[in-house]
Amino acid sequence: MAVKALSEYNFPAADTQDKFHGNQLLYVGWDDHLMFCAPFAYCLPPSTPFSELVEKHLPHSFGPHPDWAKVDVARIVWLKSGKPFVPDFNKTLAEQGLRHKDVLRMQTPGLNGNGTCS
């Protein structure tokens, strides 16, 4: 349903990709690790290789968790918008069709904060 307004109501979205200086937003959450209170927001060039995301950016964020050292990145189960997603580590974000404000979830079977999901 549309906004009821006094006159035509049509304003631009605040967070379109053109406002991020050549970058795009990508959200990544790690299931069963609620020590990190929310998924992370990254602001990266679309030309970022997926391998760089996994080898550089994610360890920086998730590294403080004792489970991270045990993660075998090749075996991470990925979800994109809640649906199965198989990334190609050699391709860039753009090449694998990851669009601005897409959300990825990582599942690491067997690793769940010692059964507490913390």
Partner 1 sequence: MDMKANKKKLGLKEKYAHMTRGLDWETTYQPMDKVFPQATFEGIKIHDWEKWEDPFRLTMDAYWKYQAEKERKLYAVLDAFAQNNGHLGITDARYLNAVKLFLTGISPLEYVAHRGFAAAGRNFPGVGPRVACLMQSIDEIRHAQTQIHALSNYNKFYEGFHAGAAHQIERIWYLSVPKSFFDDAFSAGPFEWMIAIGFSFEYVLTNLLFVPFMSGAAYNGDMATVTFGFSAQSDEARHMTLGLECIKFMLEQDPDNLPIVQKWIDKWAWRGIRVLTLVGMMMDYMLPKRVMSWKEAWEIYFEQNGGALFNDLAKYGIKVPDCITQCTVDKEHISHQAWCTFYQYAHASAFHTWLPNAEEMDWLSAKYPNTFDKYYRPRYEQWREMADKGERFYNNTLPMLCQVCQIPMVFTEPDDPTKICYRESDYQGEKYHTCSDGCKHIFDDEPEKYIQAWLPVHQIYMGNCWPEGTDPTAEGFDPMAKVLEWYHIENGKDNLDYEGSGDQANFAAWRGAATQNT
d(CA 99, CA 61): 21
Contact predicate 20/93, CB 8 Å = no
Of 45, 48, 50, 64, which one interacts with partner 1 (CB under 8 A)? Answer: 64
| Spatial CA neighbour of 51 closest among 18, 90, 12, 7 | 90
Name the nearest CA neighbour of 23 among 35, 40, 41.
Answer: 41
Count of residues engaged in binding partner 1, rule: CB under 8 A = 50
31 binds partner 1 (CB under 8 A): yes
> What 3-state class would DSSP assign to 36?
coil
User: What's the min distance (Å) between Cβ of 76 and partner 1?
Assistant: 17
Site string for partner 1, 74-93 (x = CB under 8 A): -------xx-----------
Q: Which residues pair with 43 in a beta bridge?
A: 25
Q: Does 52 bind partner 1 (CB under 8 A)?
A: no
Contact residues toward partner 1 (CB under 8 A) are 1-6, 9-16, 19-21, 23, 25, 27, 29, 31-32, 34-43, 60-61, 64, 81-82, 99-103, 105, 112-114, 116-118
